[in-house]
Structure 1
Amino acid sequence: MPDLPRFESQMMIDGKLVGGRNGTFVNLNPATEEAIGEVADASTADMHRAIDAARRAFDDTDWSTNHAFRQRCLLQLQEALEAEREELREELILEAGCPRAITAGPQLDAPLSDGLRYPAQLIDDYPWETSLGDAFVSVTGVNTTRKVWREPVGVVGAIVPWNFPFEVAIHKIGQALATGNTVVLKPAPDTPFNATRLGRLIAENTDIPAGVANVVTSSDHLVGEELTLSPKVDLISFTGSTAVGQRIMEKGAATMKRLFLELGGKSATIVLEDADLALGCMMGIAPCMHAGQGCANPTRLLLPRSRYDEGVAMLQAMYAGIAPGDPQDASTLCGPVISAKQRNRIRGYIQKGIDEGARLLVGGPDAPDGLDRGYFVRPTLFVDVDNSMTIAQEEIFGPVLAVIPYTHEDDAVRIANDSPYGLAGNVMSASLDHALAVARRLRAGFIGLNGAAGYGADTPFGGYKASGVGRQNGTAGFDQYTEIKSVAYPAVSEPRRRRGEAGPPNQPGRLGESHAVV
């Protein structure tokens, strides 16, 4: 095993590394069930200290208006993270249980490449001010210049899950800070160290003013709920389960919280009759990556009945060759799930699939052979699944695939859309035009064709229906961290008219009196 990274046990509030009023709590390695360290355990009072600091920093500093300074600070943080990349890699493997191979992609290297750089550049390119041109406004009798300004929302509560903790955190704080907001980052109690590392690097290696960014760790989820309840917090940026997202919407209603909610999914891959069947079935092993702990994982695979038996045979051979294992091993695809609670929940779903009549081909609810410690689940393949079954409708968040037969293309689209979720999906076809046509019919926010995925800090990510509200990343992500202010003033090119005086005739590019803003 590589050398242990230096874990940061303190959280960061108002520019200082501090302990928690509730002492500390233990961070466990899900692959071994052993303690890897302790971290500050915040109380509600600690959380309110962080909220107050963020509010003060937004209201009393020029962070919200100084674009060049924000850009410089984000690039300072980028440099500091690059210097500790390999320590961060080992940290994520230990606390998230993520396989080493995946840190080369979405767990670390991919978000580190552009999670801060993209929003830092967008500070220069974003339309902070747009002109609507001049128009005669009848209610005032004035030829008026009209502009639209984009301004930061204010204090952002960023709540991060345990499955891809750094990836989610860096995209949240990158866009929230770049748009001029201040932030209180609340990591999941299962994966606090990558967040406290961020706090330490901000405090020690950047010029980010005290209070602009805060990191609060706690073993109690209700401490994080203080962000939702506080009238001093303007926006909640949450990634996690749909049930918690619904609670945030409910609790935040009293203070009219702005919301970004990236929630659950039950994504489907449609393998069309003309597709490369082997490539389509390869998409079926995606739920085994990181033990299925990904909201966009395609956990339903739809095969045409004309090729169903052939596809099932391929999938059975693939799943038989995947064994859960040590995430430190570079060849491991399926590591542990995050906790005993999550392991038991997944095994319960597998048993429900058996009880409801799905045909179990590989895996099952029993413990994997040879793994006496750690929170491991056997990669599990169900076939002959009806889309009304629990395992086809509910998010399992484990290495479980439901294979569903369909009779014709319209049937496949209907099945794929027959879900409370709408986060992601895939279409496999020998014809790109054919795949694009089917993709347009899917009610989901993130569609991949023939194995491609449009991942990146410039790509909006989010879902339809119960999969959430808003988008992370891209200019759409920037937009959600801003408020819109419309500004009007008398056009300097013409004198002010008295009320009742005739206005100018319609002109190209201008609103006439009949369309005036009132």
Structure 2
Amino acid sequence: MTTPLTKSQLIDGKLVGAETTFASHNPATGALLGHAPDATKADAETAIAAARRAFDSTGWSTDKDLRLRCLRQLHRALDTHREELRELTVAEAGAPRRLTHGPQLDEPIRNVPYYADLLETYDFTEDLGEVESRGERHHRWVEKEAAGVVAAILPYNYPNQLALAKLAPALAAGCTIVLKGAPQTPLTTLALGELIALHTDIPPGVVNVLSSSRAQTGEVLTTHPDVDVVTFTGATATGRRIMAAAAGTVKRVFLELGGKSAMIVLEDADFTKAAMFAAFTICSHSGQGCALTSRLLVPRAHHDRIVELVAAGLDQVRVGDPTDPRTAMGPLISEAQRDKVDGMVRRAVADGAALVRGGERVDPGYFYRPTLLSGVDPDSEMAQEEVFGPVLSVIPFDDEEDAVRIANNSAYGLSGAVHSADEQRAIRLARRIRTGTFSINGGNYFAPDVPFGGYKQSGIGRESGRSGFEEFLEEKSFARVAVARERS
């Protein structure tokens, strides 16, 4: 992509620009990739008004057949334009091409047919039967209906996955939506808006897609009285501010926030397999994944041996040009993010951790070598705070009880993993870790039908699966007098 790209926002069914634009850069080279409209507060208000009007005055929320048709059209458009989206995702997010054949693109596209299929079979009414009260029979039932206007705010790391995991269930439920892309990856999200405008029958105002570098745009989405639901994925600190902002109008808030997940290697595990799994996991998308296991808990007696194996695994990770199909790890998203990662590594070493591998910047672009720290204090910044970079911290434990205690010693509770030759032992341990997702011996829970979310400060609610669909529904209870009791 040598010619700078320009993309439009989707507001009230029209592809439009903005008074000003902001630049998007290729993180692998630092080169200009293109320009995106820099939405203002007024643009956000216009998009919200369009979504409100589409929800209140059209049949979108009640016309199941229309929603099904539009979801099927969206899936066909995504499939037809898959390779264009792939190239854009590699260029803007810095995602290795091989990752786009999984969680960066191909797997996210599956969200759309999954929710179309769910909509086709979902029962929006639950019959509770009759009861006798005050001398009469009363028939009760519950109906589920769309929650209203949704504001969806995305981070940069998995722009396709996170957009479609919010958009598809919201549309299936009958909601209208204002989707705001991350300022680091605006073009990828705007491309989705263009597909909706040009290749689906989704009515004007039902989907609005914004891009903005301005904090005030997001503030409008989280405080506006015409927004009923806020769904946000990103940093925990930002999530706290969104909760506070949404409280003024008592909005429903879904938050998928940070993580500091632990992988526990028990003494009976296959150390070589576990070490390779740990090494390649932390390098996935350069460590820019909230559910990645960034703490590796190992038996104290085997600490040095496992550290050697992990270091050997990191040495096998091919780092470089994300357009090369052989590349396993690309760049970080920006110079600012690389500075943050490097600063945390340097402070960890100053606090007593041993730098086994990495800890180096690589130019051009925003690359950082896969980094391994051993002997990390479980209470230190490195063990407690999310790095969002390719940095793995090894922490020794004395026994299984100690491992559980260290794993749960976190403000976060998003994910986790355990490796053991005894599967039942591994499952018992997994049930003691307070996280929303868990991998046993390399098991992959990530799919459109599996609920994803966390405990504690990793968030509120669940994305994906039936649970992710029901986040966008309200329940209304009904009762009617059925049969009067005969008087004696």
What interval of TM-score do these two structures reach, taking the shorter chain for normalisation? over 0.9
Asked if 1:150 corresponds to 2:144, the answer is yes
Structure having the higher Rg: 1
Give the distance between the partners of 2:192 and 2:330, measured in 1 at CA: 25
Asked if 1:385 corresponds to 2:383, the answer is no
> What's 1:70 paired with?
67
Give the distance between the partners of 1:8 and 1:367, measured in 2 at CA: 31
> What's 1:135 paired with?
131
CA contact (8 A) 1:157 1:183 kept: yes
Tell me the SS of whatever aligns to 1:237: strand
Give the distance between the partners of 1:361 and 1:201, measured in 2 at CA: 46
How many Å apart are 1:434 and its aligned residue?
1.1
> What's 1:47 paired with?
44
Give the distance between the partners of 1:454 and 1:379, measured in 2 at CA: 25
Asked if 1:359 corresponds to 2:354, the answer is yes
Asked if 1:190 corresponds to 2:181, the answer is no
How many Å apart are 1:221 and its aligned residue?
2.7
Give the distance between the partners of 2:11 and 2:4, measured in 1 at CA: 20
How many Å apart are 1:325 and its aligned residue?
1.1
Count residues in correspondence.
487
- Out of 162, 168, 173, the position equivalent to 2:162 is 168
Report the residue type matching 2:337 in the other structure: Q
Asked if 1:14 corresponds to 2:24, the answer is no
Tell me the SS of whatever aligns to 2:218: helix
Give the distance between the partners of 2:114 and 2:273, measured in 1 at CA: 32
> What's 2:25 paired with?
28
Asked if 1:461 corresponds to 2:458, the answer is no
Tell me the SS of whatever aligns to 2:246: helix
Asked if 1:118 corresponds to 2:114, the answer is yes
Deviations 1:442-487 (A, max 9, x none): 1000001101111111100000000000000111111111111001
Once the two structures are superposed, the pairs formed by residues 246-285 of structure 1 within 5 Å of their partners are 246-285=240-279
Bigger mean CA deviation after superposition, 150-159 or 123-132: 123-132
Give the distance between the partners of 1:111 and 1:42, measured in 2 at CA: 26
Report the residue type matching 1:96 in the other structure: A
Bigger mean CA deviation after superposition, 303-312 or 198-207: 303-312
CA contact (8 A) 2:124 2:144 kept: yes
- Out of 376, 388, 394, the position equivalent to 1:403 is 394
Tell me the SS of whatever aligns to 1:278: helix
How many Å apart are 1:367 and its aligned residue?
2.1
Give the distance between the partners of 2:126 and 2:265, measured in 1 at CA: 44
CA contact (8 A) 1:5 1:91 kept: no
CA contact (8 A) 1:269 1:301 kept: yes
CA contact (8 A) 1:239 1:261 kept: yes
Report the residue type matching 1:180 in the other structure: G
> What's 1:446 paired with?
437
Tell me the SS of whatever aligns to 1:269: strand
Q: What value does the CA root-mean-square deviation take over the aligned residues?
A: 1.4
Give the distance between the partners of 2:477 and 2:25, measured in 1 at CA: 50
Deviations 1:137-185 (A, max 9, x none): 23xx321110011111100001111000011001100000000000000
Asked if 1:243 corresponds to 2:241, the answer is no
How many Å apart are 1:320 and its aligned residue?
3.1
Give the distance between the partners of 1:432 and 1:221, measured in 2 at CA: 47
CA contact (8 A) 1:5 1:88 kept: no
> What's 1:94 paired with?
91
CA contact (8 A) 2:4 2:35 kept: no
Tell me the SS of whatever aligns to 1:360: strand
Asked if 1:104 corresponds to 2:101, the answer is yes
> What's 1:470 paired with?
461
CA contact (8 A) 2:169 2:472 kept: yes
> What's 1:326 paired with?
321
Report the residue type matching 1:250 in the other structure: A
Deviations 1:15-61 (A, max 9, x none): 0000113x111111111111111111111000100000000000000
How many Å apart are 1:354 and its aligned residue?
0.6
Report the residue type matching 2:323 in the other structure: Q
Task: Decide whether aligned partners of structure 1 residues 166 and 8 sit closer, same or farther in structure 2, where only a CA change above 3 A counts.
Answer: farther
Can you give the 5+ residue segments of structure 1 that lack an aligned partner in the other structure? 503-518
CA contact (8 A) 1:8 1:196 kept: no
Deviations 1:62-86 (A, max 9, x none): 1101111101101101101111100
Tell me the SS of whatever aligns to 1:405: strand
Q: TM-score, normalised by structure 1?
A: 0.92
Report the residue type matching 1:384 in the other structure: G
State percent identity of aligned pairs: 49
Report the residue type matching 1:39 in the other structure: A
